[in-house]
Amino acid sequence: MKRVKIIYNPDSGRRALRKTIPELEDILTNEFKFIVDKEATEGKNHGREIAYKTAMGNYDLIVAAGGDGTVNEVVNGIMESGQKIQLAIYPAGTVNDFGCHLNIPRNIRRFAEMIYEGRVIDVDIGLAGDRYFLNVAAGGLLTDVAHYVSSDAKTVLGKFAYYFEGIKVFPKQMFKSLKIQLKVGGLTEEKDILFFLLANSTHVGGFKRIASEAKINDGFMDLILVENSHIIDAANLFFLMLQGNHVSHNNITYLHVKEFRIMSKEKINIDIDGEMGGTLPMTFKVIQEAIPMIVPMDFKNI
Ligand SMILES: Nc1ncnc2c1ncn2[C@@H]1O[C@H](COP(=O)(O)OP(=O)(O)OP(=O)(O)O)[C@@H](O)[C@H]1O
């Protein structure tokens, strides 16, 4: 019989998990005959501690329920344990990029059925400095936008908060470019960029096709560098990005990478799965097919 641990953030999103997690536990236990227990996170890093202990213990599957921050903590706990435990994510936060990419059902019964059906894809995990990420690491203009959005605004506006706040912030910050040194393989290049993104799935910041060539188990992360340009071009580029039509633009460098390092003289914050995750310089790596993840039967990994 499969042993399942549900790790959930009772405060994420609109606090709906307080009601839905007992329902999930009930369906998994009484209908599908899994052995289930659950634990609520109580604050920063708690999700990571519970996940570490669970992975080291006698469990087959972790369900991580919450926003991208909670899922990130659980991923870190699993990776630090070195164990190959299965993971299912139940998205309950504001943005939920990876959950959207996988098209995870929000209906709790359909989610329980997905776990029962048990289709697994081994997904790649990124390492940014000493912290793992599931979906995205980023630095520069776009990440400033994410951190401008207050938790209140996120709760009220949901994922559109990023977009609205982005429109407000973008013109002000338009000219704040970052001088970086990028080291990929043996080559070091100097670049003047607005921001960079390193993505595992195509979904970033609530938009579907930002990293339009990304695949979750190909052993690569997609690195997008947006190079500095004139105000008109930058505004146009921003809208092309939201539509997913930016890849061949002159100001975009789009690479599939396994390992690289970015350095900068300026203090640049790095955003990891939507949370602050340190500053440059930083080395980024991909750990191919590191976590077996439960995905919907009809998910098309293309
Ligand atoms: N009980 C809790 N109370 C307050 N904060 C918590 C609690 N449990 C976990 N946290 C912290 O809150 C952070 C954000 O939580 P989470 O990502 O689940 O929700 P969210 O902010 O609503 O969603 P999103 O990240 O998608 O905006 C987590 O990184 C975690 O460290």
Q: How far is Cα 166 from Cα 53, in angstroms, rounded to an integer?
A: 39
Around ligand 1, the residues with Cβ closer than 6 Å are 9-13, 41-44, 46, 66-70, 73, 93-96, 154, 274-275
Q: How far is Cα 16 from Cα 19, in angstroms, rounded to an integer?
A: 6
ipTM: 0.95
Q: Are 67 and 100 in contact (CB under 8 A)?
A: no
- pLDDT over 50 at 157, yes or no: no
Give the model's pLDDT for residue 161.
54
pLDDT: which is higher, 85 or 206: 85
Q: What are the structural domains of the chain?
A: 3-118 (3.40.50.10330), 133-287 (2.60.200.40)
Is residue 190 part of the annotated active site? The answer reads: no
Fill in the amino acid letter for 141. Answer: L
Q: What is the pLDDT of residues 3-21, one digit of tens each?
A: 999 999 999 877 889 999 9
The predicted model scores a pTM of 0.91
Q: What is the pLDDT of residues 162-191, one digit of tens each?
A: 555 555 565 555 556 788 888 888 888 898
- Which one of the listed residues 49, 113, 213, 275 is annotated catalytic? 275
CA of 129 from ligand 1 middle (Å) equals 22
Give, for ligand 1, the residue of 6, 8, 11 to mutate: max count of ligand atoms closer than 8 Å to Cβ.
Answer: 11
